[in-house]
Amino acid sequence: MNQPLLVVLAIFLNVGAQLSIKYAGLRTGGESLLQQLASPWLLGALALYGLSFLLTVRIYAVNSLSVAAPVMAACTFVLIYLLSFALLREPITLIKVAGLGLIVSGIYLVLR
C-alpha cells in the first residue's frame, strides 16, 4: 500500500475520535444539548475526524479503494476492540475474538 505512514496516522486519528466520543458520552449528565455539543471531548473528536478525513482523501487517491478502505476499517475495528478493553475495561469474549480473527483473515486475503 502506498504511503503507509499516512494510513497508520489516519487510522489512529479515527480511533482517537471514536474514543473521544465515548468519553464525551460518559461525561454527560444533566447538561443541556448545547453544553454537550461544546464538550472538549466532542470538539476533540470533531478535529480528529476532520484530520482523519483529509488523510483518507489522500490515501484513497493513491491506493486502490478496494484495498485501502477494508484495511483501514479492519485496523480500526481491531484497535477499538483492544483499546476498549485496555481503557474502558470492556470485556474480551470468545465470540469477539473469533470475529476479529475473521476480519484479520479477510484482510490478509484482500492484500494477497
Separation between Cα atoms, residue 88 and residue 70, nearest integer Å: 26
Question: pLDDT by residue (tens digit) across 47-68?
Answer: 999 999 999 999 999 999 999 9
- What is the pLDDT at residue 32? 75
Q: Could you tell me which of 76, 58, 54 has the C-alpha nearest to residue 3?
A: 58
Separation between Cα atoms, residue 50 and residue 53, nearest integer Å: 5
Q: Where in the chain are the domains? A: 4-111
Q: Is the pLDDT of residue 26 over 90?
A: no
Q: Structure pTM?
A: 0.89
Cα separations in angstroms, 92 against 72, 81, 85, 104: 22, 8, 7, 17
Q: Could you tell me which of 13, 8, 2, 1 has the C-alpha nearest to residue 53?
A: 13
**If pLDDT is split at 50, 70 and 90, which confidence band does 112 have?**
confident
Average pLDDT, stretch 102-110? Answer: 92
